[in-house]
Each structure stands twice: as C-alpha cells, then as structure tokens.
Structure 1
C-alpha cells in the first residue's frame, strides 16, 4: 500500500534566478511555475534578488496591492525593502524581490553567526560569494517575517533553496523558524564543476577526492563550505540527476534524499502550420547569414547543426564538438554541406558593421568577409578559446570545405543586432544538435532541442543523457531521436569520432527516416514534461515535512 504523502499548504522558493535570467535554473523554475501554481494557486511564493532596481525588468510586473499589509509591516518591523508582483512566465506566480544591499553593513556579524551556528567558513570569500550570501540571508529574513505575520503552527510550509547561493537563508530559517521544512537543491556541486573545469579527471577519481581538500586546493573553500553545511542541515537534500548524486556522496559527504529531474513545459513549442512557418523562417535566417558572412550559396538541403549554452569550453564539450567538425571536413562519406553553429555567449563587443551592411542588402555575395567565423566582434579576439581552436585546427571556412563553422557569441534574446531572433525561435531551424558535455548535471539544451523535434547528440556524463538511456532501456542512438555517446575522463578522441560518424550518418538519411527520428525526439521530450516529473517534488516535500516534525518533537522532548 502506498503511504499518503504529506503535502505543504504553502511553498517558498528562493533563487538568484527568480525574475533574473542567468542560466539553467531560470528554466527549471520558470517552466515548473505553472504546474505548481495550478496545484497551489497563490500559495507559491518565489523570492529573488532585486537587482533591477531603478531599471525596467521585463520579467516582473509590480503590483502594489499584492501582500500590501505585510509589506508595510516588514518595512516597519524589520527594515526589509521588498517589491511584490507577478513573474511574467506561464502561471504568473507571485514574486517577492528583496533589496539585500542594506545587509552588507552587517556582513561580518552574519558570517560570524553562521560559523558559530553551522560551521560555515566565509573567511575565504571572494567574487560573488558576498552578493549571493547577502541576498540569501535577506530571503531568509523575508520568509521569517512573512511566516510570523500570516501563518500559524497548523500551516505546513516548505522553503526550497536552490544552489549554494541560497544556502545561508535555508540555515537561517532552520534556526529562526524551525517550523518551516527546508529543501536544498544543488544543481551542480561547486567543487565538482571546478575540478572538471580545471582539467582534472573527475569521474575515474571521484571516489578518491576529498571535497574539503579539493576546495582548499582550488580556492573554493567558502562556496564549498556553505553548500556542504546546507546539504547536511536541511530537512531534505536534493539534486537533479543520479550522476550529480554520486558527486554529492563523494564531495559533500552526503547522498541526496530525492533526485528531482528537470522537466519543462511544451507550451512554447508551436503546433502545426505555425511550427513549419517558424522552422522555415529560422532556416532562412541561418542560411542567409552564412551567405553574407562566407560569400557562398547554401541550398535548403544544407545540414544545419548547432550547439549552445554557457561558455564552459571543456565542461560543455565545445572543444570536442570543434574537433569532430574538423574530422568531418576530411570525411569522404559526408554527402551534404554542413553549417555548424556555436551559439554561446562570449565576451561580446559590437555586432559586425560589415556584416550588418551585407544583411541589409538583398544581394547574394560570393566573397567572404575577413574573419569569416564570427558574427560579433569580441573584446578578446586574440584570446578566445573557440577562435583559438579553429586557428589551431587550421579550419578556414573556405569554399573547398564542406563544413562551415559560425560562432554567434551573444545571448539570443531577439535583439543581438545580427540574427535578431530569440533562441527558441532559432533552434527550431536546426536539423541536428550536438551537446557532448563532459560535466552536465542535467542538460536542458538537449532536452529543449528534442522538444522542438530536433534530434540531439549528447553523452552519458549528462544527467539528461543518462535519463534517456534509462527510459529507452539501452544507450540512445540517432534512430531514437537522441544519441547518447559513452564519455569518460579519457576517451575524447573516440567521442569526436562518434560525433563525426553520427553527422555523416544523418547526411545519408531520407526525408521519411528523418521525419520518423524527429517524431521520436518529440516523444522523448513528452516524457520529460513537468506533469510527469512534479511527483518527485511532492516526494521531497513529504521527506522535508516528516523530518521537520521529527526535529520539532525531539526538540520539544529535550525542553521537557
């Protein structure tokens, strides 16, 4: 018999990415919001940093009437400056943005207390540690104030904190409002990402690494400390995939209580004729761009492929993608032209004026622009990893090569000055996507790709790749809509060959075969909708609420 899950009455979630689009966590929260808001209408509160103060935030619409009495009370009683409104995502949940800057004045006292209460070591803080911690502390104070004002002991309340950046707030709540059940989700361990990014083999030696020792070696002590202490002290510790759970066990000395895979909503995927119209528009934009930059004609049967995401050259597998494309230039079996995009934000300067001029013209061009690899100038043209590797591989984008590479080093927000099409409206035009990650706790980019019926190549070092293998019951192949390449610390060359071979194989497929593969890609995405994955969150809430009740009753016994 299934046990009855304990369900919360109210949920708070805090993240640096609430109403603040930075990375993958934004996608997790913003796509899940509607599913939770439907089950908890206006009993779900997202707390984010008020980093847009004084500027127009397109993601947040303030509403002075919302929670007005509490807001005034919070300002008078605790000096908390918050703005309340709606997050402009499906479901329009309530968002509370807090101004955390006043807490800088108390920073040393806050850190001292965190050390006394939870042994959080903030002595070695640098970079974004202070900013994140002051926000996190402010978020904890906001929830404490709200709880005291609105709720009674009968109300079951969850506070879910995302990433090390919100750890301090979760610990504050555990101490000051112990009746709130706390959930902490790490989307990637700070130390695991750092080991991988510093070219140290992560997986073969995971069992031998000591997280605390590596944090000292890699100058990550404070971030590691807050992450580890939060993991050990919350009521329910979670992460997004089994592969990251292994990291948590070894590097944080704490396995997770529940794995929360990342889902998404498909309401942004167009249907029927609208889908085909958007796909045609995206392909036309990419083929036109290629003509203007490279001075070469690209017919509609050109194979358009792409990779995208954060600029983590090794972790995201950008290096092995370029290696595979270079090997593809020498593959005699390739029977289509390949146009390969790298849509990864770099240290971007201005849109290229020479390219803008050409794009304004209706002419077809037959001479390339200089540096025919890149759409925007960079501030560090001579020290950019993508451009350096293209030069090292001696790739020319010349007319004799069947494989052309174009680097689009900016956020595709529809206002980049060259393509001017938002990311989702552009990836729909790809024939194939490649995400050969070395370090990827989940992997939204391949999931988004298959949602738009674009088959993808990923690896089994990505949480998403492992999940695909688990639902298929075997290692995913191109014919399944998602090819999952086996990747280890040391098989870089084999991975490059496997990508090259997959692209060549794809170039030989008939339209009928491609159509089948596209449908299979969409079927994989359907299994990752939030309506299927939300159940894991309900399990995490249950674990947190039960552990909170145990904690309270044991504290009461101690006091008797």
Structure 2
C-alpha cells in the first residue's frame, strides 16, 4: 500500500490487570509497555482498578507531581484517582481509579447502555458489576483527561482489553467520538464457557449460535457486552487466528487484526547466572520431592511440569495426568521422571511434616502420607487433580519410574515449601507440557522456551499455531516445541503422543538435548515485542482512520 501509518499522540489503555497481577493479560501489557513507552515517552497511560484500598500496591508507585492539576480537578468530576507509575520495565504512567462510587448509579448506567447499544445487563452475576463499574470509571478518567489537556488536533486512542472494558469503550464511542477505540478480546467469554462446560467447541463452531449458547450457559450479559463492543469499536482485534475464528462464529464479527502476544526476555538470566540458577532450581525441587516421597532421585532425573490457571480440561491438566500414567508402563523410558502440576488450587496451608523434613537436611526412605501433594487443600476430597490421581491409583510408589507431584500454589516466592518464584523454578526443568484444549495464545510455553526449556503444546493454542507457521511444518521436539494436533475427540491419542515424546527425549544424547534447548531459545527470540509491535501499529492506524472519517462526517 505504501501509505504512511497514522500514529497516535496519546494512548490510554485499560485492563482489570493494570498494576493488578491476576492472569496472563498482566504479562501481555506489562511486557509490551516498555516498547510503547520507548516510542511514546509518557504519552501511553495505563488505567487500572484501585482495588488495594488502604494496602500498599506492590505493582504501583504513586507520584502526586504527575498531572497534579488535572488530578485535583478530576475530584470535581466525581473521580477518585491515584496517579503514578507501574513498577515494570519502562515505568509507564498509570492511573488507578476507585470505581466503587459508581455502584449507586449502576441501574441508570445499565439502562443507558441498553438504550444506546442494546447491551443486556439484566442477567448480570459474579464479576459483571465490578468489571462494568471499573470500565465505566476508566472511561470517565479518559474523558476528564482529554477535556483538561487535549483536543481534536491530537490523535488519541482508547484501547480496552477483554469484555471487562467494554462499557468504557462504548461510553467513549457514544460521548467522545474524537477518540479512536481499539478492543482486544484475549478469549471470547462464550467460547471459554463452551469449552469449560465439556462441550465440543471446534468441530461444531460453525453451527453454534453465540446468543443461544449464552442463554444456555447463563452467560447472556458478558456475551452481550462483548458482542456489542466488538461491533461498535473502530478496531476489533484478538490474539491469534484460532480466536479470530471464534470471534467470527460466536460474536458474529470478524476481527480487523490479529495481535499476537510478544514478550520481553529481560527476566531470563544470562551466562553463568543462568547455569547457577538452573542448578539451584533442580537441587531445590529434588530435595523437596525426596523429602515428600522418601526417594533418592538424583540430578539425572528428567524434571517435567505443567502450569497455568486451574482449568482442568481447558489447560489440558487431565490429559497431562493421563500421559504420566501411561508413561509409568513405558518400556523405552531410560530416565526416572519427576513431574509437577503447578496450578493454584484452594490452598489451606503448607505441609508442616514436609517442611520439617526439608529443614532437617536428612535423607528419608519412607514417604509421607499423601505423597502427591506439597500443601494441604481446603477441598481435598473434591479436588479434580487428586481425584484423577486416586482414580488412576497413582500413589508415587517406591518402584514407580514416574512420580507426579501437585504443587497447588501461586509461585511468588513465599509458598512456604519451595519459596521460589515461578521463573526461578521453571528454568530447572528439562521439559514443559501444555496440552491445552482451549488456549487463545499461551504464554506458559513461550516463557518456557525463553529459558531454553523445550516444551510440548497443541495446535488448539494460538502459540502452537504460530510455532507451526514459523517452523513451516508441525513443530517437533527437536525444533524446541512439539506441537500436537488436538481435536474435540482425540484425547487418548494426545496422551500417547505426550508419553512417547517424553520417552523419546529421555533417550536423547547430551548433544541432541543441547541442540533442542538452543532451538527453543532461538524460537523465543522471534516472539519478542520488537517483532510483534508492528501489528499494534497497524491497528492504531486503522482506528485513527475510522476516527478521521467520523470527524469529517460531522463537518
């Protein structure tokens, strides 16, 4: 086309996960921020919820010198704000808004949105009210800032992430047409719900009616705000081709652009530091496992893990356990395997008996009771992981060549047993396995290969599809990522392929392992934000051109 892209003078970007680490969107925004901050120098402003009340927010540092006059005037607009910086690389400006005052106007706000955009809030429950009031408050912040400092001569974008920002995007569309709007859905609420309710998503995608399924699964309100936002913004985007297909079928709206999730690798240690941390991680997990199970696993043990949110089927935790069960009887396995499930459950407390054993430094030849779990749970008898282990009779017996341990915590360095952060732990792995059934992108495998840990994933993950495109064929473990073809119905085949891949890897020579690890590291470099940010620039250009056409039409 050859035309020069329009570039914004200001970007306001909102998400429930700005300065609020609860999921993968935090990683998307916090790693991309540095690239945008370098390009825009404090003209990218993130808006998040002030949900820490009186407690210190570790992700945010308030700075009352930033936009002080506006912040003072915003109080008169009924806004309670904290302005400061997000404690991430680039230290971009962040505004945290208290959305609770808007609850008293909730019905009026919902009624207006029904009148303007036919958004159905009647069936709201769960986090719908909270998200909607935050989103409305975030839009009021943008409106207030714009009116205080800016005018139509400035190219301004408001970018919202997930259905939780839909209210604000529609408010801006209705009352601030001078601002261009971009909406990114990282996963459709109805698609996630179909998959999470054990319904076949992919074979029937063409036949599902999103509105009908929303009614059946009690998702009407979330689906309604997401669908209307997608239809009404200047630029509708998602994170992978697989989710773009979902948007077209379930929201009846094709996306304008796919914005793949990049990352920065500044959290990956280099050289001697990498080697030291890897040894430290392996030593720590082997020490813990031996104390729990009364074993004597050495450094030649093949350490494997899966991790992510506790979505038993969607994240493929079920098929991972099944694969480990089959691996127990695999004759070609040449090394002992220590496998972890690192997903946060309903944790009660760290096991005191395990902690005492670890701290004693002694060796034990008898297992503790329930030698499959590191922390006691509140719901031991209703936990999906423990129930499947019980059903399969996987007890981590002394002569089992595959041991599976459930580590049911957020690994933030203070779990009471390992006391190591996830990134410090994962680089000790030999392999990571993420056999997702529903995964719009997939940060966990991308993070794994950044640490040169080869991984196994599926082509139902956006990341898996991207790997296949980069490799020019279905990814193999030698490429650094094995991509398994997964469908609604090939669970057993997927479990077998995972089992076979791990057994095959256990027989690799040190030279072949090194090549695998190097290829994993090289592949991760292709997903850095420096390579992916161009897609965002195209989306900004599209949104600004739509805005210009709208403003021309008003003249």
Q: TM-score, normalised by structure 1?
A: 0.99
Partner of 1:371: 370
Which deviations, in whole Å up to 9, do the C-alpha atoms of 1:97-119 show, x marking residues without a partner? 00000000000000000000011
SS at match of 1:18: coil
RMSD (Å), alpha carbons: 0.6
Partner of 1:443: 442
Counterpart Cα distance in 2 of 1:537 and 1:29: 12
* Structural mapping, 1:17-56, within 5 Å: 17-56=17-56
Q: Offset of 1:2 from its aligned partner? A: 1.9
Which deviations, in whole Å up to 9, do the C-alpha atoms of 1:217-258 show, x marking residues without a partner? 000000000000000000000000000000000000001000
Q: Offset of 1:49 from its aligned partner? A: 0.2
Q: Offset of 1:64 from its aligned partner? A: 1.1
SS at match of 1:206: coil
Q: Offset of 1:96 from its aligned partner? A: 0.2
Q: Offset of 1:452 from its aligned partner? A: 0.4
Partner of 1:143: 142
SS at match of 2:306: strand
* Structural mapping, 1:478-557, within 5 Å: 478-556=477-555
Counterpart Cα distance in 1 of 2:357 and 2:172: 57
Q: Offset of 1:176 from its aligned partner? A: 1.1
Partner of 1:177: 176
Q: Offset of 1:79 from its aligned partner? A: 1.4
Counterpart Cα distance in 1 of 2:276 and 2:58: 27
Q: Offset of 1:276 from its aligned partner? A: 0.4
Unaligned runs of 5+ in 2: none
| Residues 1:452 and 2:451 are matched in the alignment | yes
SS at match of 2:45: strand
Counterpart Cα distance in 1 of 2:418 and 2:3: 53
Counterpart Cα distance in 1 of 2:62 and 2:442: 32
Partner of 2:297: 298
Partner of 1:15: 15
Partner of 1:200: 199
SS at match of 2:291: helix
Which deviations, in whole Å up to 9, do the C-alpha atoms of 1:264-318 show, x marking residues without a partner? 0011100000000110010011100101100000110100000000000000000
Q: Offset of 1:400 from its aligned partner? A: 1.1
SS at match of 1:5: coil
SS at match of 2:69: helix
SS at match of 2:95: strand
Counterpart Cα distance in 2 of 1:135 and 1:152: 25
Q: Offset of 1:551 from its aligned partner? A: 2.0
Counterpart Cα distance in 2 of 1:56 and 1:412: 20
Counterpart Cα distance in 2 of 1:371 and 1:3: 64
Which deviations, in whole Å up to 9, do the C-alpha atoms of 1:177-227 show, x marking residues without a partner? 110000000000000000000000000000000000000000000000000
* Structural mapping, 1:68-87, within 5 Å: 68-76=68-76, 78-87=77-86
Partner of 1:356: 355
SS at match of 1:483: strand
SS at match of 2:206: helix
Q: Offset of 1:548 from its aligned partner? A: 1.2
Q: Offset of 1:492 from its aligned partner? A: 0.3
Partner of 2:62: 62
* Structural mapping, 1:282-321, within 5 Å: 282-321=281-320
Which deviations, in whole Å up to 9, do the C-alpha atoms of 1:15-55 show, x marking residues without a partner? 00000000000000001110000000100100000001200
Pairs aligned (count): 555
| Residues 1:244 and 2:243 are matched in the alignment | yes
Partner of 2:400: 401
Q: Offset of 1:396 from its aligned partner? A: 1.3
Which deviations, in whole Å up to 9, do the C-alpha atoms of 1:56-85 show, x marking residues without a partner? 111111111111100001002x11000011
Q: Offset of 1:359 from its aligned partner? A: 1.3
Q: Offset of 1:552 from its aligned partner? A: 2.3
Relative to structure 2, which stretch is displaced further, 301-310 or 356-365?
356-365
Which deviations, in whole Å up to 9, do the C-alpha atoms of 1:354-399 show, x marking residues without a partner? 1111111110111100000111110100000000000011111001
Q: Offset of 1:3 from its aligned partner? A: 1.6
Q: Offset of 1:555 from its aligned partner? A: 3.7
Counterpart Cα distance in 1 of 2:3 and 2:508: 49
Counterpart Cα distance in 2 of 1:466 and 1:199: 23
Counterpart Cα distance in 1 of 2:298 and 2:358: 18
Relative to structure 2, which stretch is displaced further, 58-67 or 314-323?
58-67
SS at match of 1:208: coil
Q: Offset of 1:331 from its aligned partner? A: 0.4
Q: Offset of 1:165 from its aligned partner? A: 0.3
Relative to structure 2, which stretch is displaced further, 159-168 or 354-363?
354-363
Counterpart Cα distance in 2 of 1:491 and 1:41: 49
Counterpart Cα distance in 1 of 2:201 and 2:552: 41
Counterpart Cα distance in 1 of 2:156 and 2:275: 45
Counterpart Cα distance in 1 of 2:365 and 2:44: 57
